[in-house]
Amino acid sequence: FDMFFLAFVERLFRPTFKKDDFVLGKKLGEGAFGVVYRASLTKKPSSKVPYQKEGDLVLKKATEYGAVEIWMNERVRRACSNSCADFVHGFLENSSKKGAEYWLIWRYEGEATLYDLMQSKEFPYNVERMIVKEVQDLPRGLERENTIIQTIMRQLLFALDGLHSTGIVHRDIKPQNIIFSEGSRTFKIIDLGAAADLRVGINYIPKEFLLDPRYAAPEQYIMSTQTPSAPSAPVATALSPVLWQMNLPDRFDIYSTGLIFLQMAFSGLRSDSALIQFNRQLKRCDYDLNAWRKSVEPRASSDLRKGFELLDLDGGIGWELLTSMVRYKAGQRISAKGALANPYFDREGLLVLSLMQ
């Protein structure tokens, strides 16, 4: 009851928008379920409305799944707003030609996703420049790279912990869905189109076809085959903590986050084809990262060796964290909160000037 009442009150006082309020700019992305544009407000409705500068907004025109995405974004805004891109408004647009279309509007957070940043040869130093106010003139090397990667991981896990504590599993965590927010100088999660809200059973049955196989944990089909379909909202609210513990569905996101950690540490695994090949190798090793390491280390390229060296720093706490995230059994994977408490994040790094830590 609380949640719905609060949602209702919040709606009353928040500015709402309609189709004519927006002018579309450059296309930022196009998937099977929607098109994303940079956008601006056409007129300045009132001084109380933020986001009035040109290109301040991002607009997604979504198919029927947009309804779930609006629900998730409104939940996030109330419960863990720092985890995801700032959501402005979402509504159903009934244009006679195309049928129902959902419009979702966010604040434009910045131009780069973690994917874009990882494609650069400069990574992770290009990120250091963005998260640190004044980059000190330190020698480049493993220690410094590790500190930057550590900061990114901490921000990512912090955002993820917010979602999971709210009862939301994202299910499509990948570098393309992590945006660098220039305003807060932190990474935020985007694209809640495949997310599930377990407390109220919204979208409880996973849409497997939405999942990205490159980052999906091996149990990708388990939730839908082992759990009954979502009960109606009030019942689900009472039941869900139990379901949550039975399946630990949040650990699905942890596996994906582990693969991102891996790609940050190993430059040779950042391309799609390398990741797909890695997934095949790991499967052959029964998802045992230590076994994978044994199989590749003897004839490892210099890229691969450098990754192991980075994760082996400080007694191997990075490798330890990685192996506690990328495990076959969901129940054996560490939680987002547990990962944040891992010794890997204890050591005071070089990024003493970094914000928000």
Annotated catalytic residues are 172
C-beta separation of 176 from 270 below 8 A: no
Considering all CA atoms of the chain, what is the largest pairwise distance in Å, rounded to the nearest integer?
Answer: 65
- How many residues sit close enough to Mg ion to count as binding (CB under 5 A)? 2
178 lies in the binding site for ligand ADP (CB under 6 A): no
Candidate segments 28-36, 72-80, 329-337, 340-348, binder of ligand ADP by CB under 6 A: 28-36
Look up residue 322 and give its amino acid. L
Strand runs (DSSP E) across the chain, as ranges?
A: 22-31, 34-41, 57-62, 87-95, 99-107, 168-169, 178-181, 186-189, 196-197
85 lies in the binding site for ligand ADP (CB under 6 A): yes
Out of 73, 113, 323, 324, the residue judged to bind ligand ADP by CB under 6 A: 113
C-beta separation of 236 from 201 below 8 A: yes
Out of 17, 21, 34, 174, the residue judged to bind ligand ADP by CB under 6 A: 34
State which H helix or E strand residue 126 sits in: helix 125-131
191 lies in the binding site for ligand ADP (CB under 6 A): yes
Out of 40, 83, 150, 177, the residue judged to bind Mg ion by CB under 5 A: 177
β 57-62/34-41 pair status: antiparallel
> Closest separation between CB of residue 61 and ligand ADP, Å?
10
67 lies in the binding site for ligand ADP (CB under 6 A): no
By beta carbon distance, the residue nearest ligand ADP is 29
> Closest separation between CB of residue 167 and ligand ADP, Å?
21
Q: Which is nearer to ligand ADP, 160 or 334 (CB)?
A: 160
Candidate segments 8-16, 26-34, 225-233, 295-303, binder of ligand ADP by CB under 6 A: 26-34
109 lies in the binding site for Mg ion (CB under 5 A): no
Q: Which is nearer to Mg ion, 252 or 344 (CB)?
A: 252
C-beta separation of 304 from 292 below 8 A: no
Out of 21, 109, 191, 250, the residue judged to bind Mg ion by CB under 5 A: 191
The torsion of the CA quartet 53, 56, 62, 67, rounded to 10 degrees, works out to -90
> Closest separation between CB of residue 184 and ligand ADP, Å?
12
Closest CA to 341 of 188, 169, 158: 158
- How many residues sit close enough to ligand ADP to count as binding (CB under 6 A)? 20
> What is the residue-wise DSSP string for 136-160?
--PPPSHHHHHHHHHHHHHHHHHHH
66 lies in the binding site for ligand ADP (CB under 6 A): no
330 lies in the binding site for ligand ADP (CB under 6 A): no
State which H helix or E strand residue 273 sits in: helix 272-284
d(CA 180, CA 186): 6
C-beta separation of 91 from 102 below 8 A: yes
Closest CA to 153 of 82, 269, 302, 256: 256
> Closest separation between CB of residue 69 and Mg ion, Å?
11
> Closest separation between CB of residue 210 and Mg ion, Å?
10
184 lies in the binding site for ligand ADP (CB under 6 A): no
> Closest separation between CB of residue 120 and ligand ADP, Å?
15
- Summarize as ranges the residues that interact with Mg ion (CB under 5 A): 177, 191
- Summarize as ranges the residues that interact with ligand ADP (CB under 6 A): 28-29, 31, 33-34, 36, 58, 60, 85, 106, 108-110, 113, 176-177, 179, 190-191, 193
